[in-house]
């Protein structure tokens, strides 16, 4: 149910210069989805009345805006043409909050690890205070703003490390930057922020001092440090990726998936694995994969945009590309690639084959080295292989072509015409045997080699 008293502002205008990338920082992927996509999904899970994404100027900002609309089409957009700090960024979102008088939750597009439970706890704290901040106990507080508590357990001040005393620097309770404030309070206090700091920026954290100056309480909610990790460079991106992968693997194992070596398996944010699925080492699931119960995926497979039905077996060293469907009990074996194709129930493509833009009928058998020749240099064409058909090894099926049910294609054939059901198709040169030819050839070549060596 939508919370009419909640709006969410996501700050996503940072330049991300330390990423050293042409891609805007918040668009870098984690588990196959942009960091901004993760934050927007979290925001949507809270059912807010409004979501506002603050993006930067130019094409970089336009890319962020497109990504925001991709994941949450109803999100409002606000441009921060000049990057003057977090307080200034929230000010750009205020016009999109006209007529809204509830609570405003401020999130960051480069902080993708927060959980719904943590934010719900923060919102509960904010119910009884005009301002609430999210803090965490840091293993190493270096570089973080410290949260100084008042006698009542609320936040008395946020002290940046460069401004902290020796005693304050020993404080390990740190500021995440996430906070909740009343919309009316934001409209009143944000214009009072001053850029009296080394960066010459308007800091959102200064709201704490302004609120305390009015004699009002600033509530505190806490979470694990892991959830607050932001991304400023590639090393931090890798750290966040490891954490997300660990979460995804643990969730899958709790639901009945067996990983032979969990740390070597890569999952995407939307990977769906059924019960009694067994996954070997070094398997990668790109976005868009659904795997039913009792499936075995052997080591070193790569799946993306694929559906695998119950009891199927994949790999090892198989690749399922977007549009691949492997139906119940089917087998896709080692060094087989399947793209935009259906391998129907009980069919076998056991090794060294490419099946693209095709249908492999029930219980059909595809021999090693078979290729569906689906591309003519301009257009893609389909191959249809009927139920129970047998395709001999090293065959090329030149699409568009149909192989009828129960038909047999002889090994080494190149098939360019439709094959009726239960027929034999064979296309190869007649075998010719010349007795003694190999011995004469070797003798001739040996003599030629000796002449060259003698310089004759």
Domain definitions of the chain by residue range: 3-228, 234-425
Q: Quick one: tokens of 400?
A: 């568009």
Mean of per-residue pLDDT scores for the chain = 96
Using CA atoms, how far apart are residues 41 and 262, in angstroms rounded to an integer? 26
Contact criterion met (CB below 8 Å) for 8 and 51: yes
Give the predicted TM-score (pTM) of the model: 0.92
Architecture of domain 3-228: Alpha-Beta Complex (3.90)
Using CA atoms, how far apart are residues 137 and 124, in angstroms rounded to an integer? 20
Residue 213, classed as helix, strand or coil, is helix
- For the stretch 323-377, pLDDT in tens is 999 999 999 999 999 999 999 999 999 999 999 999 999 999 999 999 999 999 9
Contact criterion met (CB below 8 Å) for 344 and 370: no
Domain 3-228 shares a fold with domain 234-425: no
- Please identify every residue annotated as catalytic: 351
Using CA atoms, how far apart are residues 351 and 166, in angstroms rounded to an integer? 67
Vertex 127 angle, CA 122 and 128, to 5° = 110
- For the stretch 30-88, pLDDT in tens is 999 999 999 999 999 999 999 999 999 999 999 999 999 999 999 999 999 999 999 99
116-125: buried (b, 16+ CB within 10 Å) or exposed (e) per residue? eebbebbbeb
Length, in residues, of the chain: 456
Task: Using pLDDT thresholds of 50, 70 and 90, give the confidence band for residue 199.
Answer: confident
- One CATH from 2.160.10.10, 2.40.50.100, 3.80.30.20, 3.40.50.300 for 234-425: 2.160.10.10
- For the stretch 109-138, pLDDT in tens is 999 999 999 999 999 999 989 999 999 999
């Amino acid at each position: 149910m939508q919370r009419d008293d909640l709006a969410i502002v996501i700050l996503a205008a940072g330049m991300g210069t330390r990423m050293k990338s042409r891609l805007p920082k918040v668009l870098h992927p984690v588990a196959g989805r942009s960091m901004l996509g993760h934050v927007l999904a979290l925001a949507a899970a809270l059912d807010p009345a409004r979501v506002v994404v603050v993006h930067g100027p130019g094409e970089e900002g336009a890319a962020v805006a497109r990504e925001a609309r991709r994941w949450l089409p109803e999100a409002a957009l606000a441009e921060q043409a000049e990057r003057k700090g977090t307080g200034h960024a929230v000010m750009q979102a205020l016009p999109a909050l006209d007529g809204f008088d509830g609570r405003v939750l401020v999130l960051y597009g480069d902080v993708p690890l927060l959980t719904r439970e943590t934010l719900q706890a923060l919102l509960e704290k904010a119910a009884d205070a005009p301002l609430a901040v999210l803090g965490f106990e840091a293993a190493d507080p270096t570089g973080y703003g410290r949260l100084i508590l008042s006698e009542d357990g609320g936040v008395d001040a946020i002290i940046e490390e460069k401004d902290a005393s020796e005693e304050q620097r020993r404080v390990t309770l740190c500021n995440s930057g996430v906070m909740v404030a009343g919309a009316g309070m934001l409209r009143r206090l944000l214009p009072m922020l001053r850029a009296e700091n080394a960066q010459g920026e308007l800091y959102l954290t200064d709201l704490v001092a302004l609120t305390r100056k009015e004699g009002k309480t600033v509530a505190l909610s806490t979470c694990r440090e892991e959830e607050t990790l932001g991304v400023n460079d590639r090393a931090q991106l890798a750290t966040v990726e490891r954490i997300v992968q660990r979460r995804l693997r643990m969730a899958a194992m709790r639901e009945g998936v067996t990983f032979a070596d969990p740390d070597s398996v890569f999952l995407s944010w939307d990977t769906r694995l059924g019960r009694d699925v067994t996954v070997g080492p070094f398997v990668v699931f790109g976005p868009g994969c659904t795997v039913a119960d009792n499936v075995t995926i052997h080591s070193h497979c790569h799946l993306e945009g694929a559906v695998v039905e119950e009891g199927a077996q994949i790999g090892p060293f198989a690749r399922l590309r977007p549009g691949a469907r492997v139906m119940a009990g089917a087998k896709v074996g080692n060094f087989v690639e399947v793209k935009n194709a259906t391998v129907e129930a009980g069919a076998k493509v056991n090794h060294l084959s490419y099946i693209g833009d095709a249908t492999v009928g029930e219980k059909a058998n595809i021999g090693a080295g078979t290729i569906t020749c689906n591309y003519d240099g301009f257009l893609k064409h389909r191959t249809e292989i009927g139920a129970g058909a047998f395709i001999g090894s090293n065959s090329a099926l030149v699409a568009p072509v149909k192989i009828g049910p129960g038909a047999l294609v002889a090994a080494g054939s190149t098939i360019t015409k439709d094959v009726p059901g239960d027929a034999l198709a064979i296309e190869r040169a007649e075998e010719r045997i010349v007795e003694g030819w190999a011995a004469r050839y070797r003798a001739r070549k040996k003599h030629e080699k000796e002449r060259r060596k003698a310089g004759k």
